[in-house]
Amino acid sequence: MDDKKVKEITDMEVDFAKWYTDVVLKAELIGYTSVKGCMVIRPYGYAIWENIQKILDGMFKQTGHENVCMPLFIPESLLQKEKDHIQGFAPEVAWVTMGGEEKLEERLCVRPTSETLFCDHYKNIVHSYRDLPKLYNQWCSVVRWEKTTRPFLRSREFLWQEGHTLHATEEEAVKETRQMLDIYANMCEEYLAMPVIKGEKTEKERFAGAKQTFTIEALMHDGKALQSGTSHYFGNGFAKAFDIQFTDKDNKLQNPFQTSWGVSTRLIGAIIMCHGDNSGLVLPPAVAPIQAVVIPVAAHKEGVKEKACELCERLSKVCRAKVDLSEQSPGWKYAEYEMKGVPVRIEIGPRDIENNCCVIARRDNGEKQTVQLCDLEQTVQKLLQDIRDNLYNKALLRREQMTYTARNKEEFKDIADNKPGFIKAMWCGDSECEEHIKEEIGVTSRCIPFNADKEHPGDTCVYCGKKAKHLLYFGKAY
């Protein structure tokens, strides 16, 4: 085994931030650029995003959503129509003031999100209840002028999808908002093997202009939370601001109700920090660009390369397979594909060929087994499912072990200072109290979980002692 590549990765227990940076660079997921705060998503990193995109896009279309494409630029006057929205994004907005050599009559915002663009379009195409609902989504990049950046987690330009829908009734819109959050949770848990907490954001943490924001929160290896997807219910505030009206079944003019929802390339960061180890990436099979790699051993001997190619061809019918015929040593290749998180490695050499078998190694736990070649496809398919299940169960166990309950202020502070993870506590519902918690305790509210009615670790607020209204998940977050 060639451990040189592994030794180039800082142990996560020593410096988690450095470990993360080492992994994204050594696994060739990103490259740095001359544009400060922006990254190149390299082919291997982009292939992960393509797999996420393919899965989600299929889910969206199954639920009746259509893909559209909106402009990159938003006129300032359009952005100003919804005051809460523009105030929420003002610090992060990038502006275009020149076109060629001429100063623009009106500044153009490089889209940080597209609610206003969709509203401007809706007012031209929605006139009757028969025109509703509008179930739209777009895959694009957005720009937010972040002060502190980190690959995938927070960059000034990033890739995402943003869904935008319009409905005749409040009930339909709220149902849509919850449905899309469920789709995100299903994507994370079933395909990314990453357990999430579903819940509602506090008023202070809501998306700018939203009446309700729902979220999925995942826990990373270091005990920090990562907001992994959000879904927003806007009511009809945007519709009123943009004068979007439709004639209902009683021939009366109404304002429709609106939603938006999105996930981004920060999901790749979530995968790295949820499943990775000190050897590099550990990819969930569903989104791994290569699910199985075939490595010939003693490739210079007669028939070995040919057999390796044959096995790869067979595997390609049941998974994303690759054979590595490069001149690097087998040990170097083992370390390389461990670094890249490939779920399954197949080793084939002269003795294996004689015995009509091969050796299969799992990336998630390092276990090896000898398998008869006639059972190869079936074994690999089963292993890919087993690996997904194992990754999920390990992440779930870690979350359970790193979730604590605080019943008073002293306990709250002690846990926040000494035990990384989620902290469950009762809260009074006051935004001012929430801000004090952030400043003094050093944690932020993550969500009010949907199953909060089942748990009541007290009747009073963990911080101020007033009567409690909600169970809240707190934590330090990316």
Name the residue among 225, 231, 335 with its Cα closest to residue 269.
225
pLDDT > 70: what percent of the chain? 97
Q: Decide: helix, strand or coil at residue 435.
A: helix
Spatial strand order of the sheet with 94-99 comes to 73-75, 102-110, 94-99
Judged against a pLDDT cut of 70, whether residue 37 lies above it is answered with: yes
Name the residue among 337, 309, 333, 336 with its Cα closest to residue 323.
309
pLDDT at 4: 52
The 10s digit of each residue's pLDDT in 342-371 is: 999 999 999 999 999 999 999 999 999 999
Q: Which residue has the tokens 């990049």?
A: 141
The 10s digit of each residue's pLDDT in 129-185 is: 999 999 999 999 999 999 899 999 999 999 999 999 999 999 999 999 999 999 999
Q: How far apart are CA 288 and CA 192, in angstroms?
A: 10
How many residues are there in the chain?
A: 478
Q: How far apart are CA 151 and CA 40, in angstroms?
A: 9
290-387: CATH topology is Rossmann fold (3.40.50)
Q: Helix crossing, 43-62 with 266-275: angle to 10°? A: 110
pLDDT > 90: what percent of the chain? 93
Q: How far apart are CA 129 and CA 318, in angstroms?
A: 46
270-283 b/e (C-beta count within 10 Å ≥ 16 → b): bbbbbbbbebbbbb
Q: How far apart are CA 259 and CA 261, in angstroms?
A: 7
pLDDT at 113: 94
Q: How many CB atoms lie within 10 A of CB 40?
A: 13
Region 412-437: mean pLDDT is 97
pLDDT at 87: 74
DSSP 326-376: SSS-HHHHHHHHHHTT-SEEEEE-HHHHHTTEEEEEETTT--EEEEEGGGH
Q: Which residue has the tokens 């309700």?
A: 212
The half-sphere exposure of 406 on its side-chain side, counting CA atoms within 13 A, is 31
Alpha carbon of residue 402 to chain centroid = 21
Region 236-254: mean pLDDT is 96
Structure letter (DSSP) for residue 414: H
Is residue 2 very low, low, confident or very high in pLDDT (cuts 50, 70, 90)? very low
Judged against a pLDDT cut of 70, whether residue 308 lies above it is answered with: yes
Burial class (CB in 10 A: 0-12, 13-18, 19+), 214: buried
Task: For residue 247, give both structure tokens.
Answer: 């004639």
Judged against a pLDDT cut of 50, whether residue 1 lies above it is answered with: no
Architecture of domain 403-475: 2-Layer Sandwich (3.30)
Is residue 457 very low, low, confident or very high in pLDDT (cuts 50, 70, 90)? confident
pLDDT at 328: 96
Judged against a pLDDT cut of 70, whether residue 43 lies above it is answered with: yes
Q: What is the rounded average pLDDT for all residues in the chain? A: 95
Peptide bond into 133 cis (omega under 30): yes
pLDDT at 6: 52
Q: How far apart are CA 271 and CA 464, in angstroms?
A: 37
Region 19-47: mean pLDDT is 96
The 10s digit of each residue's pLDDT in 58-67 is: 999 999 999 9
Judged against a pLDDT cut of 80, whether residue 452 lies above it is answered with: no
Domain boundaries, given as residue ranges, for the chain: 4-275, 290-387, 403-475
Identity (one letter) of the amino acid at 304?
V
Helix or strand run (H / E) with residue 378: helix 376-401
CATH 3.30.930.10 fits 4-275, yes or no: yes
Q: How many CB atoms lie within 10 A of CB 436?
A: 13
pLDDT at 82: 73
Name the residue among 133, 168, 167, 165 with its Cα closest to residue 252.
168
Burial class (CB in 10 A: 0-12, 13-18, 19+), 13: exposed
Q: How far apart are CA 131 and CA 166, in angstroms?
A: 10
Name the residue among 347, 338, 351 with its Cα closest to residue 294.
347
Helix or strand run (H / E) with residue 177: helix 170-186
DSSP 255-313: --EEEEEEEETHHHHHHHHHH-BTTB----GGG-S-SEEEEESSTTSTTHHHHHHHHHH
Contact (CB, 8 A) for 75 and 37: no
